[in-house]
A = this chain, B = another copy of it.
């Protein structure tokens, strides 16, 4: 290691990753808390997750996906 890459550089890289991972983990907790708050207010979490996914899509893509799913459901009699 000492010949190839300095240990100090590795240490610094690892510590940067750890700080970012800690922040990311904190945000995951925050997201969980908002869903918990929503649930406590009577909202359905699974439906909210579906909404978040749908809002992430472009309107055109979402409408095409909706139409295609409906076509397949109709074809299979899946109501």
Q: Report A's interface with B, CB cutoff 8 A.
A: 1-2, 4-5, 7, 9-11, 13-14, 16-18, 20-21, 23-24, 27-28, 30-31, 34-35, 37-38, 41-44, 46-48, 50-52, 54-55, 59, 62-63, 65, 68-69, 71-76, 78-79
Beyond A5-B42, A44-B68, A44-B72, 4 additional contacts (C-beta under 8 Å) are A13-B41, A13-B43, A47-B72, A50-B69
Known contacts being A9-B41, A78-B54, is A16 close to B34, with CB within 8 Å? yes
Copies of this protein in the complex: 4
Best-buried of A9, A14, A16, A50 by chain B (most CB within 10 Å): A14
Closest Cβ–Cβ distance, residue A44 to chain B (whole Å): 6
